[in-house]
Chain A
Amino acid sequence: MTARQPQAVADIVAMGAVFPAPNPGSMALPPAAGVESHAAYLCDEPMGKGIVPPNKLRRLGPVQLLALTATGLALRNLDPPIEFGARSAMMVGTGLGELGHTTAFLDAMFTKSPFEMKPTHFINSVHNSLASEAAIVHGFRGENYTLTHNAISFEIALQEGLRVLRAGRADHALVCGADRLTSFGVEAGRRLGWWRSPGSSLDPMQETSPVNGTLPGEGAAALLLVAPGTCEGHARVGRIAAVAARPLAGQDATALDSADETDFLGRVLASAGLSLGDVDLVLYGANGDADLDAAYRRVDDRLADTVPNAGVFKHECGDFMTASALGVALAVDAVRDGQVPPAVRCIRPGTTESLVRTALVYSLSRAGYHSACVTTA
């Protein structure tokens, strides 16, 4: 990230988030797995009741319903209400899109007759079906992007939301990150060695018996952004001060130089006119994987004298490509309320009583990415 990356600033006027149920549930696996199920952080069903228009509940796929729920939660209590239209932009980040309906269509194609391939499943299989339905339901007729780039999908959606506001091409940008589990996806992750043994929960950066592997999860968060100072009668929930996301250029995320990573965080903060000394809370996207947690620990060792509070959040949601959206939602909660949210698990002994005005969300991924997002009050 170069020093000349411009400030990425927007005010947050509304937010919605969908977390999984408090404790890991059990995801049924396909028959070919040879294993009945695997532990996973699963969202409650039915999804979207009371928020998603009833005529869509039956037709839409699980990820679409999740995204509609998150965006619906964000927008439903706006006071005064906003009439969205041609200057309202929608940016959705999703790692895998509506994979469930994609596999359902293909399943029918391979195992049943051509007449049992449901057109609805194909229509929903395009990645932008989430953003499309959200635009239809909420009336967003401006720029509409779906960004899909593994572990930085939400961050790059957020970057483009900030960019369209900064360019003056939109008055609002609704930015959402969403992913849901499928039995196919969980089984693939199991065979690839991503998950730890079934039945465990996550205690990132504080595992008593560290093992490699995490647990799959799902969830979504949506932020309604406006250019700074244009809240128009709506209370500002917080501010996005900076966001950066990059591939690691072939480097192993578990072996990163913590000094380099600290420099990366410093540059992100500097782009917002801030420094590590301004950060009151750092939220790590640690996922309980022993080697990855160790990488986060090495960074935290460098920040511990400067940043008073440090915590993790994936014990609440498991790991998935857009999980950082939930991390950012918690960061926004923190700066809105001025304190570490109860859902955040602090990783250093003794939480300080310092007021939280600036929160930093830092994520590393074994897939080869790192990202940072700064929220302020």
Chain B
Amino acid sequence: MTDGGRIAVTGFGMVSAQGWSADEAWDGIEHGRDGLAPLSMFRTARDEPVPAGQVNGDPAERSGLDHGSRSDHLAVCAARQAFEGAGLGAAADALPRETGVVLGACTGGMLDSERFLEQALLDGTVDMELLRHHECASTTNAVARALSLSGPVNTVSTACTSGAAAIALACDWIADGEADVVLAGGVDSLTRLTVNGFSSLLIVAPDGCRPFDADRKGMSLGEGAGVLVLEREDDAIRRGARIRGYVLGAACTCDAHHATAPSPDGDGIQRAMRSAMDAAGVTPDDIGYINAHGTGTPDNDAVEGKAILEVFAGGVPPVSSTKRFFGHTLAAAGAIEAVLSLLAIEKQRIPANLGCVTPDPEIGLEPLRETRDAAVRYVVSNSLGFGGNNASLVLAGVSAEGAGQ
């Protein structure tokens, strides 16, 4: 909450394995379309390609950028959608002066950096151009340049919570007066580092992720970008923007337990959910849907499930993980899932937990098996990451809150 009202979402954009927009993503959800397919972008250390949520098509052909890493192109595609959707694209000279960008990113230009290293190591070729967009910050800067934004910039890299953390930071900036409008979200491309890295930890499911399933064998990677336009509600109304929803609350915590495994008692994500709801001024009883992080790994799903049961001890709302539709898009996940949560409220439909056949009785959750109608006013969206990072967002729609009320 700010002195200009709530933090409104006036635009959003998404690129994912389901397509080149949020609408295409939702269409995939409605049709129960598995977002995973054999990885074709590059070979991995495994003999056969792993199932992954690879974006189909070349983002470089759609971004409008002359150059950039795959992450840069993905992010700019999503950012342009959000920008246009917020009604900011056509009136660049009327853009609020302090329009900033904060993106979450883990891999940056690593896909090109890997090629650099491979060439240098195997045949001695050195192509410095491949390192030009190495840093995660390169993507944030690419978005700022593409949209001619001159406000504050920041890049968050907190593993799989990066996208949600970026949204939380953006809310802080607006509340604090650091910026008038902020493009916030997350992006990551598939890379050999991450595909082989997660495989080396033996947590990649050979048959695709099955969140909360009794027979789940791990995660599936994906790539994509999700970007939201955030601003004070009063400002949005004043300029006649269409409000798509609100970020009512956001909270980030740290388990301080282990480099990769979540704290078994789920303390960190519990605190994140409770703090986000407190900030939003809602109670667990108000929540109509939980978009779980639900990667499909034994540890994550068990801990997150336990935490949900603790926090929502008075009655667990419908829960689902959408990871099977997209793969785990790492830094993009929290932002993509925030967009999905807003769409769920807008459409009064909640997505299925694709991939779960037999819910794990040890967890005790009954994830949603089919996408269905639901009266949803508020959504909790969770992200958990390496390093014990946790993030939870509370999203609300216009129908529940009433724009301007």
Contacts and interface: CB of A to CB of B under 8 A. Distances in A.
A118 B193 CA distance: 12
Contact of B386 (A107, A118, A132, A138): A132
Nearest to B152: A246
A111 B387 CA distance: 29
Interface residues of B, number: 62
A111 B118 CA distance: 9
A127 B104 CA distance: 11
A163 interface: yes
B260 A123 contact: yes
Nearest to B391: A143
B157 interface: yes
Interface string A111-134: 100100111001111111101110
Contacts of A160: 169, 172
B196 A145 contact: no
A132 B389 contact: yes
B157 A126 contact: yes
B252 A143 contact: yes
A96 B253 contact: no
Nearest to B120: A32
Contact of A145 (B131, B156, B193, B257): B156
B218 to A, nearest CB: 14
Contacts of B122: 110-111
B184 to A, nearest CB: 14
Given A97-B157, A103-B117, A117-B200, A145 B388 contact: no
B177 to A, nearest CB: 5
Interface string B153-168: 1111111000001000
B136 interface: yes
Contacts of B253: 86, 141-144
Given A114-B45, A192-B128, A249-B150, A144 B155 contact: no
A111 to B, nearest CB: 6
B135 A140 contact: no
Interface in B93-114: 97-98, 106, 114
A142 B254 contact: yes
A146 to B, nearest CB: 5
A287 interface: no
B382 interface: no
B177 A5 contact: yes
Nearest to B166: A145
Residue among B120, B155, B253, B387 with the highest chain A CB neighbour number at 10 A: B387
Contacts of B258: 136
A188 B156 contact: no
A167 B279 CA distance: 12
B132 to A, nearest CB: 9
A140 B388 CA distance: 11
B300 to A, nearest CB: 15
Nearest to B132: A192
A142 B271 CA distance: 9
Contacts of B144: 247
B387 A147 contact: no
Contact of A2 (B97, B154, B200): B97
A363 interface: no
B41 to A, nearest CB: 15
Contact of B158 (A2, A4, A139, A145): A145
Interface string B193-220: 1001110110000000000000000000
B45 A131 contact: no
B137 A149 contact: yes
B141 A247 contact: yes
Nearest to A111: B121
Nearest to A139: B256
12 contacts: A106-B114, A110-B122, A111-B121, A114-B45, A125-B197, A126-B387, A128-B157, A128-B385, A135-B387, A138-B256, A143-B252, A191-B126
Given A147-B156, A191-B126, 6 more contacts: A6-B176, A32-B120, A107-B121, A141-B255, A145-B169, A149-B154
